[in-house]
């Protein structure tokens, strides 16, 4: 069999002059990128937030660089969810309605995966991404909604992160196992499988079975390691998928190999992260600080780091992109060129940012009826609403915030963000923020935009003056919205966590919040105090009384951070460190 031959050749140190290996080389992609969610555009709602948008931005970066790659994800036919609110500001979730046929084509192939005691048929929809230089990357969206499947199985690719733990387990079987089978049917034999988070780790099960002609377990592990590269995305233990081992027995019908169980099971749970780590030659965290935390969580494995980035062509607002077109040669194909943003004339950057601000404010007016004032310092905060991100840190001391706004310089605030349907605490945070709008008026205008997605992000992030980020340390693995802000000349006001440890230089690229050694006793109070202090002494005075310096900070955000925290730099690091180096 072709597949086994290929893998065996890999095991036996490939002899490049053999006719078989040359033939095989012609259909090798360098990379197969597997991710539970991929966010390419707001019109393809198969993502929930940071992880998916990063996956989409990564593939766009890879397409710009011209690297042969295929990607595999789930169709998520009903999306994550659309967000609305009840009259008392409690989040409501609705299925997303979208027309996949407008963006993708069904492939004629169907593969089978046995889940529990039924064969589930899986097909895929194909979307082609074209990079800035014309290179194409194909993304396959797996789909189980086929008539021949049992009703229960038809729904396996309908809701992203929906259902219970066993729904997730079955979805991950589809992603990893059917994903590899489908690639084989389509004649893809990639050299590397990039597991973007543990969700995709069952692809190791499939590759392991393809290697059935190798009997030595150590040799098998080395062969798999050669093929796999793994990125971990969360420093929160609960964020790592782990399934009761009985569920693994049940849904795999006892077929999970002993070797995979031994490497993955801890305390009766089958850990997708451990499976991925044990069989990958390269393991990375997504920022330098995240590497430290990850090493402590998984001391048995060597963990490197490649700091995340964003796709500049996607996230530069229209007015900013036009400004770059005028002043920065080849910025779309060579993001490094953004270093030259430092030379853009001040008044042109102000004008482009003002345009982004007006585009945002007319959207706010249309959605909420609120008139914001473009002369007023506008803070933006939008991300998944969950406790550690502390969306409400800024609102901890309302009298102090009002006092700042009334005496030092006016402030207005725009929020957005969804809470996971089962994160009740997250929903309460949103409710509290939405309720506070009334209490802040008329001193401070606060709006909370509904249904944060890539479209809202594309207006909100470039349109505010300062991007606020207040996670509890060290729980933000990287964060990427601040990078999108930087590309648009919007400085961050941020806790030094995640990417900001690397990108934040106080009063140069933005502002740091939080004392170096804040007492752990009341971290929230200390961080809030620091936040108000920095607003009072640095952000507001610079914005209102030293415009020239504020513009320099905006420019440095682009040239120091936009030129670096992008997926061109990031994808090149993956190429050298994860994909092509012999680890």
Ligand X SMILES: *Cc1c(COP(=O)(O)O)cnc(C)c1O
By the rule CB under 6 A, 419 interacts with ligand X: no
- DSSP tag of 93: E
* Residue span binding ligand X (CB under 6 A) among the ranges 46-54, 71-79, 210-218, 333-341: 46-54
For 557, phi and psi rounded to 5 degrees? -60, -40
Partner residues linked to 243 by β-bridges: 270
By the rule CB under 6 A, 452 interacts with ligand X: yes
Can you tell me which of 49, 179, 198, 474 binds ligand X, judged by CB under 6 A? 49
By the rule CB under 6 A, 77 interacts with ligand X: no
User: How many other C-beta atoms are found inside a 10 Å radius of the C-beta of residue 407?
Assistant: 9
Least separation in angstroms between residue 365's CB and ligand X is 21
By the rule CB under 6 A, 229 interacts with ligand X: no
Can you tell me which of 11, 32, 53, 62 binds ligand X, judged by CB under 6 A? 53
Least separation in angstroms between residue 474's CB and ligand X is 15
By the rule CB under 6 A, 453 interacts with ligand X: yes
Which lies closer to ligand X via its Cβ, residue 263 or residue 566? Answer: 566
Question: Is the distance from CB of 220 to CB of 211 less than 8 angstroms?
Answer: yes
By the rule CB under 6 A, 309 interacts with ligand X: no
Least separation in angstroms between residue 49's CB and ligand X is 4
Can you tell me which of 383, 420, 473, 555 binds ligand X, judged by CB under 6 A? 383
Which lies closer to ligand X via its Cβ, residue 142 or residue 468? Answer: 468
Question: Is the distance from CB of 553 to CB of 422 less than 8 angstroms?
Answer: no
Which lies closer to ligand X via its Cβ, residue 220 or residue 484? Answer: 484
How far apart, in Å, are the Cα atoms of 392 and each of 194, 413, 522? Answer: 36, 12, 15
By the rule CB under 6 A, 234 interacts with ligand X: no
By the rule CB under 6 A, 457 interacts with ligand X: yes
Size of the site for ligand X (CB under 6 A): 12
By the rule CB under 6 A, 314 interacts with ligand X: no
Can you tell me which of 10, 45, 50, 190 binds ligand X, judged by CB under 6 A? 50
By the rule CB under 6 A, 197 interacts with ligand X: no
Give CA–CA dist 492/466, Å, rounded: 6
Least separation in angstroms between residue 182's CB and ligand X is 28
- DSSP tag of 44: B
Calculate the CA dihedral of residues 182, 184, 185, 187 and round it to 10 degrees.
130
State the helix-helix crossing angle for 217-227 and 203-210, rounded to 10 degrees: 130
Calculate the CA dihedral of residues 270, 276, 279, 280 and round it to 10 degrees.
-170
- Read off the tokens for 461: 């992030």
Least separation in angstroms between residue 50's CB and ligand X is 3
| Contact track, ligand X, 475-514, x by CB under 6 A | ----xxx--x------------------------------
Nearest residue to ligand X on Cβ basis: 481
DSSP string, 415-483: EE----TT-HHHHHHHHHHHHHHHHHTTTSEEEEESS--HHHHHHHHHHSSEEEE-PPTT--S--SHHH
Residue 187 zone, left/alpha/beta (φ > 0; ψ -120 to 50; rest) = left
Q: Which residues bind ligand X (CB under 6 A)?
A: 49-50, 53, 383, 452-454, 457, 479-481, 484
């Amino acid at each position: 069999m072709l597949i086994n031959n290929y893998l065996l050749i890999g095991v036996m140190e490939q002899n490049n002059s053999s006719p078989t290996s040359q033939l095989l080389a012609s259909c090798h992609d360098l990379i197969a990128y597997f991710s539970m969610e991929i966010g390419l555009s707001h019109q393809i709602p198969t993502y929930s937030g940071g992880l998916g948008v990063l996956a989409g931005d990564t593939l766009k970066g890879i397409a710009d660089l011209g690297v042969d790659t295929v990607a595999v994800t789930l169709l998520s036919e009903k999306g994550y969810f659309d967000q609305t609110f009840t009259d008392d500001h409690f989040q409501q979730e609705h299925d997303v309605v979208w027309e996949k046929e407008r963006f993708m084509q069904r492939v004629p192939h169907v593969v089978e995966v046995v889940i529990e005691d039924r064969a589930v048929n899986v097909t895929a929809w194909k979307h082609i991404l074209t990079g800035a230089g014309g290179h194409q990357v194909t993304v396959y969206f797996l789909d189980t909604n086929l008539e021949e499947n049992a009703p229960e199985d038809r729904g396996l690719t309908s809701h992203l992160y929906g259902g219970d733990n066993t729904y997730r387990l079955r979805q991950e079987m589809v992603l990893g196992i059917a994903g590899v089978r489908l690639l084989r049917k389509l004649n893809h034999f990639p050299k590397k499988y990039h597991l973007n988070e543990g969700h995709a780790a069952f692809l190791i099960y499939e590759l392991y079975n393809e290697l059935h002609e190798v009997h030595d377990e150590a040799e098998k592990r080395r062969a798999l390691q050669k093929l796999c590269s793994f990125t971990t995305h969360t420093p929160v233990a609960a964020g790592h998928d782990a399934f009761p081992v009985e569920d693994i027995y049940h849904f795999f019908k006892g077929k999970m190999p002993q070797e995979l169980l031994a490497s993955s099971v801890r305390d009766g749970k089958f850990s997708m992260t451990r499976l991925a780590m044990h069989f990958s030659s390269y393991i990375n965290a997504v920022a330098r600080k995240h590497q430290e935390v990850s090493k402590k969580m998984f001391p048995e494995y060597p963990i490197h780091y490649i700091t995340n980035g964003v796709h500049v062509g996607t996230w530069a607002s229209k007015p900013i992109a036009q400004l770059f077109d005028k002043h920065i040669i080849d910025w779309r194909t060579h993001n490094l060129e953004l270093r030259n943003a430092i030379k853009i004339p001040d008044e042109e950057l102000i004008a482009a940012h003002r345009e982004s601000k007006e585009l945002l404010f007319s959207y706010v007016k249309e959605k909420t009826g609120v008139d914001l004032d473009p002369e007023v310092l506008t803070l933006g905060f939008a991300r998944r609403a969950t406790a550690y991100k502390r969306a409400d840190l800024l609102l901890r001391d309302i009298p102090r915030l009002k006092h700042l706004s009334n005496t030092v310089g006016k402030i207005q605030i725009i929020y957005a963000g969804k809470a996971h349907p089962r994160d009740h605490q997250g929903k309460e945070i949103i409710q509290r923020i939405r309720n506070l709008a009334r209490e802040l008026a008329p001193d401070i205008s606060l709006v909370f935009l509904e249904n944060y997605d890539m479209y809202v992000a594309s207006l909100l992030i470039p349109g505010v003056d300062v991007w606020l980020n207040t996670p509890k340390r060290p729980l933000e693995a990287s964060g990427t919205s601040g990078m999108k802000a930087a590309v648009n000349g919007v400085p961050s006001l941020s806790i030094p966590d995640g990417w900001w440890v690397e990108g934040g230089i106080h009063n140069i690229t933005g502002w740091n919040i939080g004392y170096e050694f804040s007492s752990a006793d009341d971290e929230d109070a200390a961080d809030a105090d620091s936040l108000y202090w920095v607003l009072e002494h640095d952000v507001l005075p610079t914005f209102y009384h030293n415009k020239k310096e504020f513009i320099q900070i905006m420019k440095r955000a682009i040239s120091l951070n936009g030129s670096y925290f992008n997926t061109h730099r990031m994808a090149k690091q993956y190429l050298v460190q994860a994909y092509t180096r012999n680890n």
